Structure formats: C-alpha cells, structure tokens
Amino acid sequence: MAHKRIEIKKALASAIALDPILAKSNIMTDRANEIWEKNTPVIHISIPDEKAEKFAETPRILKRMAMAAIEIVVQGVNFAHKVEELARLVENQINLDLTLTRLVTDTVLVNSSFETNGDGKQPLSSQLLVYQITYHTEETPQKPTSETSSPIVQFRR
C-alpha cells in the first residue's frame, strides 16, 4: 500500500486537473524529468517536509502536518501575469475541497512566493504555493509481505 503522502500528491494533482485550463498543463508529482525538459506550463507537486506529533495513545495515532509545495512554472519573457493566473486557478481548485475527498483533515495555504529567472535562453517565471496539509495515521506495525521483505538468510554453526 502506498504511503498517504503519495495519495495526497495524487489527490492534489487530480483536483488541479479538474480545471479545464490547468488540465492543459504538465502536472507532475515527481521529478523524473527536469521541469525545463517539459513544455510549460508545468505544475509540480511535492511534499518536501512533514512534522508529526502523537494525537492518541491507544491505538497510537499520529497527527501529521505535511508541507505540500505546488510549483507553477511558465517559460518565456514577461509571463508573470500567466503564472499569477494559473496560481489563482490552482488555489481555487484546492479551495473547492479542502479535505481532498476526505483523505485529509484540512488544507491551508501558508505561503506563496514568486520568482523570475531571466538567465539563459529560456527565461522562467514561477509561483510556489505552500500548503499545510493535516492528516492522521495509525501507527500499527504491519507484518512484512513477500513484496516488502528481503529474503531471510539463515546461518548454520
């Protein structure tokens, strides 16, 4: 089973893709390909940071606060207005369902920053939206399966 962070990134990508304008962008949840190798606009979703605290003891439940970074990148000169418009659309799509279809407890925009890089042949404008996403997980040890465990090596004396 995938970690809930992966499910959250996919849910964010799905919510963003519901907008017909944003659906035309390259929406990525990993960096298998560098952004500049894709046609822009690119919307990259990652969760670079997460904090956890004990929420309940029995069963042991963790309250997790993941910082989801949604980076919107547009290639070209003077595309600041395009990035701002795409950021507004992304914010709107996420605000339509702050629980990501009950996957999380809450989603709050906590930071937004804009950057333009005019260096090189392909100038880039980008907007970074950072959301704090709160969710809970039960800390229940799971027995390894054949898919997740490594082979056991037995030694004889």
User: What's the CA gap between 142 and 74, in Å, rounded?
Assistant: 43
The full set of domain ranges for the chain reads 4-124
pLDDT for res 53: 94
**Greater confidence, 74 or 80?**
74
pLDDT for res 156: 43
Strand partners, 44: 28, 71
Architecture of the 4-124 domain: 2-Layer Sandwich (3.30)
Q: What is the pTM of this model?
A: 0.83
* pLDDT single digits (tens) 77-97: 668 889 999 999 999 999 999
